């Protein structure tokens, strides 16, 4: 994976697709608006959004106008991140952000946005094969993290607060037979308004989000433990093993057992 993507424009290859990266990512949004969605929360995204997305953190971006979406990205391994953490061990705010299991989002002021753009621009001018590139990369990461610490995003938009409540409720009750009505009650909104707002901000219907979250959970259980298919089905909140198998195959192209065997053979 390239360590720097400068001014990437257009629809992302992972548009509305759950995915995780092997590396940590810093992303600066130059143009566009929409959402950054994780399994736990949704975050507002617009021009000036600077975010840190930890390695192995499931997420996707949902820009309102994918073709006009412009962003720059830096990728850095967890080992390299650890080296930077050691440099900054005296600063607890940095240690919180350099947690590879989370997403941290800041909305930069116009002045700090100019600074962030300059940081990406300068890094892009350095020869990737140069012996200095790694040092410049470390410097860029630290400077961008300073901006995140300074301008930690505070969610002021009630709509995103509602979406965060809904997503948290879904994740806390994913093993249960949850319904749209239950989620609406937890979010204190009418069903019609909530469903429209959820699709607008998250990019999926409520039950599409629930299903995809259950499939992700099932994948993790299939690859990390010795639970039976029926036990995984029940733990992930599916009403029956047969429905779980059909839904899993429709989403992944494999039955749960095929997926489990495939991952075992790749280890």
Looking at residue 265, its pLDDT comes to 57
pLDDT in tens, 45-69: 999 999 999 998 999 999 999 999 9
pTM, 2 dp: 0.68
**Residues in the chain where the model's pLDDT stays below 70:** 1, 89-101, 152-160, 264-267
Looking at residue 266, its pLDDT comes to 58
Looking at residue 155, its pLDDT comes to 44
Map out the domains of the chain with their CATH numbers.
Answer: 4-150 (2.60.120.280), 158-265 (1.10.10.60)
Looking at residue 102, its pLDDT comes to 80
Looking at residue 224, its pLDDT comes to 83
Q: Measure the CA–CA gap between 26 and 52, rounded to whole angstroms.
A: 5
Q: What is the dihedral of CA 204, 210, 192, 199, to 10 degrees?
A: -10
DSSP state of 152: B
Q: What is the dihedral of CA 65, 21, 165, 230, to 10 degrees?
A: 120
CB 47 within 8 A of CB 31: yes
pLDDT in tens, 75-111: 999 888 888 877 776 665 566 666 666 888 888 989 9
SS3 state at 56: coil
């Amino acid at each position: 994976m390239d360590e720097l993507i400068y001014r990437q424009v257009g629809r992302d290859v992972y548009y509305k697709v759950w995915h995780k990266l092997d590396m940590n990512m810093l992303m600066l949004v130059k143009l566009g608006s929409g959402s950054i969605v994780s399994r736990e929360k949704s975050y507002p995204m617009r021009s000036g959004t600077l975010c840190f997305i930890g390695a192995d953190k499931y997420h996707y971006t949902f820009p309102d106008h994918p073709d006009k979406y412009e962003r720059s990205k830096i990728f850095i391994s967890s080992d390299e991140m650890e080296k930077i953490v050691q440099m900054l061990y005296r600063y607890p705010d940095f240690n919180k952000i350099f947690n590879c299991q989370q997403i941290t989002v800041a909305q930069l002021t116009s002045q700090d946005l100019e600074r962030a753009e300059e940081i990406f621009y300068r890094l892009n001018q350095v020869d990737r094969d140069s012996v200095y590139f790694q040092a410049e990369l470390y410097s860029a990461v630290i400077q961008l993290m300073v901006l995140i610490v300074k301008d930690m995003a505070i969610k002021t938009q009630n709509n995103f607060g509602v979406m965060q409540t809904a997503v948290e409720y879904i994740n806390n009750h994913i093993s249960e037979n949850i319904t749209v009505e239950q989620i609406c009650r937890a979010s204190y909104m009418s069903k019609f308004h909530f469903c429209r707002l959820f699709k607008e901000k998250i990019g999926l219907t409520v039950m599409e989000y629930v299903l995809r979250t259950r499939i992700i959970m099932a994948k993790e259980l299939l690859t990390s433990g010795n639970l039976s298919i029926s036990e995984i089905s029940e733990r992930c909140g599916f009403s029956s093993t047969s429905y779980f198998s059909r839904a899993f195959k429709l989403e992944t192209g494999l039955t749960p057992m095929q997926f489990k065997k495939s991952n075992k053979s790749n280890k």
